Amino acid sequence: MKKRMLISLLLILVLVVSGCNVKTKTESQSETAPSDTSENTQNQKPVDIELLAQSSSENDVNIIRDQLTKNGFNVKLNLQPDYGSYKSQQDAGNYDIALSSWTTVTGNPDYALRSLFKTGGDYSILADEEIDKLIDQAATQTPDEYKDTYKQLEDRLVTDQAYIAPLYISLKSQAVNKDILNADTVRLSKSRAMAWEPIEFKDSSKNTKEPLILTQSASVLTSLDPIKGNDGSINQLNTNMYVRLVNLTDDDQLTAEGSLSHNFSIAEGNSEYYFILRDDINFAKIDNKKAVDTGERVGADDVIFSLDRAKNKDSVPDHRTYSLHEHIKEAELVTDLSSLESIQQSSGGGSVKEALEQGLGTQISELVTDKNKADNAAGKYQVVKLTTTEPFPQVLNYLAHQSAGIVSKKQVESINTYDVASFDVNKDIPYGDQNTVTEGAAYNNTLYASGPYILAYKNDYEGVFYHNPGYRKASEYAPKISQVNVRFIS
């Protein structure tokens, strides 16, 4: 079994064994067969086993069922129509083995491993101290160092304990109509979700007149609050609705391009990370089902608020991404410019200030606390410092994930007025609840988007997005197409 089956990119399908005591064919025979004869083996009653999966994976399920049947199992299929129904069945324990898949959208191994296999992870059903130890050990290591550690982890997961059975890795693909779109503007990235803002029609005059049509299978959206969802229903949507401190290039390298930061720098010791913020992004909101510029700038207070709630498991009910950000100790505003001059880069290439100023049109002359007083052209900037609980270079990959999207402190606090401990799903309406953007009696869109697009409304057929009129105006990163319709096709 090749190492990449566990720790590498894109999409991995696995069979996950539940906590149920499922006897294998051999175990069942050893308990009941009076002798090891071919006749007794052939007459042995098949072992019952329930396989949970989504109906969209029916082709894979049929192959698995046939193979299990050939090996002495009586397979009962538990096929669910969507991820929400699948998750409910999984949480209820209504399965013996479950077919699952995972897309690594941050370009680093720790992302999937921490959520899926660490004790207390967002999607973990395991509690194995050795697994936890290996995941934590690899997290502090560089890519050259962590190869051996991840090999030990794979051996325990797959071979020694058989917690999972990796099936295959699918290649990432997407279809583009070259007669309609300028194919050169459509990116195919290894890990990150598709970026919508650079896409253009072949006939550029259509950019403001016709919608870009995209598709996805899930119509039920987990949450439009970036920290409350981490699945295929919202990854692409939230990635394009909320800007982040850093991004991934198409080949999984970290970059500030297309992010809220001009530049970022790692300080000596790999525990302190610095980001110098842009001043040309405003939040968008929906008014009468159209996108408008709120006039509220995306600033350091929003960044600190967003990262604080991302790392705090109790900041919202049903927090699904906290384990990705548990290494964040503190996010704070830097006010002392001289400190940036004295702190050295981890790479040894000079001071943090030098790294942050690289390529700037105007060098840093002043650090401001009020985001509305930032004026990059005049040398007035905001710098955010993030400190990790221990050296953790992979923290930057998590900051490129949709769950680290920047939300409006003012707006989210005005919506999430409930008490988290006593949250009542029947009466409390949290920020990002999909019902608030679904056409009908409950429609009340309160989203504030910091990214290039914002969801105006959805129904069972599609979700309609409009470009954020306050996003990077007059720059190459301003959204090219005004409207994006995401069709829900199972």
Separation of alpha carbons 330 and 288, rounded Å: 39
Q: What is the pLDDT of residue 13?
A: 64
Q: What is the pLDDT of residue 241?
A: 99
Q: What is the pLDDT of residue 435?
A: 97
List helix spans (H) across 280-394.
300-311, 337-342, 352-357
Where is 8: in which H helix or E strand?
none
- Catalogue the long-range contacts made by 168-175 (C-beta closer than 8 Å, 24 or more residues apart): 168/12, 168/13, 169/4, 169/5, 169/8, 169/9, 169/10, 169/11, 169/12, 169/13, 170/10, 170/11, 170/13, 171/10, 172/10, 172/11
Handedness of CA 277, 312, 130, 108 (dihedral sign): negative
Q: What is the pLDDT of residue 145?
A: 81
Q: What is the pLDDT of residue 447?
A: 99
Give the residue from 242, 377, 223 showing the smallest Cα distance to 303: 242
Helix axes 109-117, 129-139, angle to 10 degrees: 160
pTM, rounded to two decimals = 0.80
Domains, the chain, in order of start with CATH, read 4-170 (3.10.105.10), 183-488 (3.40.190.10)
3-state helix, strand, coil in the chain (%, to 5): 30, 25, 45
Question: pLDDT in tens for each of the 490 residues of the chain?
Answer: 333 333 333 345 666 666 444 444 444 444 444 445 445 545 678 899 999 999 999 999 999 999 999 999 999 999 999 888 998 999 899 999 999 988 788 999 998 898 899 998 878 889 999 999 999 999 887 777 889 999 999 999 999 999 999 998 888 888 999 999 999 999 999 999 999 999 999 999 999 999 999 999 999 999 999 999 988 899 999 999 999 999 999 999 999 999 999 999 999 988 999 999 999 999 999 999 999 999 999 999 999 999 999 999 999 999 999 988 999 999 999 999 999 999 999 988 899 999 999 999 999 999 999 999 999 999 999 999 999 999 998 899 999 999 999 999 999 999 999 999 999 999 999 999 999 999 999 999 999 999 999 999 999 999 999 999 999 998 999 999 999 999 999 7
Q: Are 429 and 445 in contact (CB under 8 A)?
A: no
Q: Are 17 and 125 in contact (CB under 8 A)?
A: no
Q: What is the pLDDT of residue 16?
A: 67
Give the residue from 307, 297, 280 showing the smallest Cα distance to 370: 297
Q: Are 37 and 184 in contact (CB under 8 A)?
A: no
Single-letter amino acid code for the residue at 289: K
